[in-house]
Structure 1
Amino acid sequence: MSMIETKGVTYYYSKSHPVLDGIDLRLDRGMMYVIFGPSGCGKTTLLSLLGGLDVPKAGHILFDGRDVQEIGLERLRREKVAFVFQNYNLIDYMTPVENVLLTAKEAPMPVLGKLGLQEEEAKRNVLKLSGGEQQRVAIARALASQNPVILADEPTGNLDEETAGEITAVLKDAAKSYNRCVVIVSHSREVANEADVVFELKGGKIREQSNA
């Protein structure tokens, strides 16, 4: 059984122009997936549905075989999924340690340290950190929540190429070392090339791409 499964998921603002049209996916722990496609193709909409921020117009989303609406969307967001956003979404008057403590089920410093932040950096205001460092804090917050699924919405979009590569590697390590299911939406081919599995979203339909 896959950790997350979507069955015929459809979403639209107008019935005649579905954003998502019968999406079927199977997603597992220990894997990094990239949902690839141009801006406006529905990637963020799909991520929002997977994370319980919205509900499909038709079809079902299952988590460990249970419909997410049976689990409860609030519980899903609290216990099952963690989000990483392009703009970091950190509390800007707090330190990295304080930001991670907001969702942590474990001590924040070991996780921050594993992601490359020294104790001195972890006690600074987050606005004094670089973009790459802030994104590492956001990923640390997701990991320390111990939620099994990490959903990342264009997490490298605000970063230079070198830092983007580092953040992509951190997310891949989150899948492998922490046994999380990591789902990234991106229009970056460089990010897609690092995925275990790439899905291309186009015209409301999704298909698996070869990453050979």
Structure 2
Amino acid sequence: MNILEARQVFYYYTEGRPVLNGIDLGFEKGKMYVILGPSGCGKTTLLSLLGGMDVPNAGQVIFNGKEIREIGLERYRREGVSFVFQNYNLIDYMTPEENVCLTAKEEPLPVLARLGLTGEEARRNVLKLSGGQQQRVAIARALASQAPVILADEPTGNLDEATAREITAVFKDAAKTYGRCVVMVSHSNEVAKEADVVITLHGGQVA
């Protein structure tokens, strides 16, 4: 059963030139989805619409059977989804523990420990962590929010190949072990190989 759906979603900046042209997609809990496609094909726009950061010009985004505007976009963003970004979007004067506390509905230290950070690292300023560790903090923040849907925009784009594999494994575990629905935008075929479902966009449509 789908927890999240895009139903005949259209989006355009200039009328008559759609960025997304009638997208129909469904997403289930416990699976990791990777959205591939060339630059400008609408990947990040789709992620933004799925996350309630913007609304389609036509069509609907459905969460748990309800249109997200009916739920209320602010409430949906607070309770339904959590974002992980390429540039981590951490508060740089805080520690990992403090960053996770911003959205946490559970104790942050056990979540950080599950993602491989020691107690000392969890209380260190985030700028003193490696890029891979910072991305783990961002993922911990998403997990600790207990949002059922995690939306990730190029989360491995700033990481070396080995660290990217580790982070991809963390996302996969979030789906398989913790039952989250993980939707990830990526340019990486290596990341796509680890997905349960690969969605390719081309010209604003599912290829």
Q: TM-score, normalised by structure 2?
A: 0.99
Q: Residue by residue, what CA displacement relative to the aligned partner does 1:41-82 show, whole Å, maximum 9, x if unpaired? A: 111100000000000000011111101110010000000000
Q: Which residue of 1 aligns with 2:111?
A: 111
Distance in 2, Cα, partners of 1:154 & 1:38: 13
Shift of 1:6: 1.1
Shift of 1:15: 2.1
Q: Which amino acid aligns with 2:21?
A: D
Q: Which residue of 1 aligns with 2:163?
A: 163
Q: Which residue of 2 aligns with 1:3?
A: 3
Q: Which residue of 2 aligns with 1:17?
A: 17
Q: Which residue of 2 aligns with 1:50?
A: 50
Q: Which amino acid aligns with 1:83?
A: F
Shift of 1:17: 1.6
Q: Which amino acid aligns with 1:130?
A: S
Q: Which residue of 1 aligns with 2:76?
A: 76
Structure 2, unaligned stretches of length 5 or more? Answer: none
Which aligned pairs between 1:53-68 and structure 2 lie closer than 5 A? 53-68=53-68
Q: Which residue of 2 aligns with 1:210?
A: none
Distance in 2, Cα, partners of 1:126 & 1:69: 35
Distance in 1, Cα, partners of 2:98 & 2:88: 15
Distance in 1, Cα, partners of 2:5 & 2:89: 27
Structure 1, unaligned stretches of length 5 or more? Answer: 208-212
Shift of 1:200: 0.1
1:195 and 2:195 aligned: yes
Q: CA RMSD in A?
A: 0.6
Distance in 2, Cα, partners of 1:160 & 1:191: 13
Which aligned pairs between 1:25-36 and structure 2 lie closer than 5 A? 25-36=25-36
Distance in 1, Cα, partners of 2:179 & 2:74: 23
Distance in 1, Cα, partners of 2:72 & 2:34: 26
1:125 and 2:116 aligned: no
Distance in 1, Cα, partners of 2:63 & 2:73: 11
Q: Residue by residue, what CA displacement relative to the aligned partner does 1:98-153 show, whole Å, maximum 9, x if unpaired? A: 00000000000111000000001001000000000000000000000000000000
SS at match of 1:3: strand
Q: Report sequence identity in percent.
A: 73
Q: TM-score, normalised by structure 1?
A: 0.96
Q: Residue by residue, what CA displacement relative to the aligned partner does 1:134-175 show, whole Å, maximum 9, x if unpaired? A: 000000000000000000000000000000000000000000
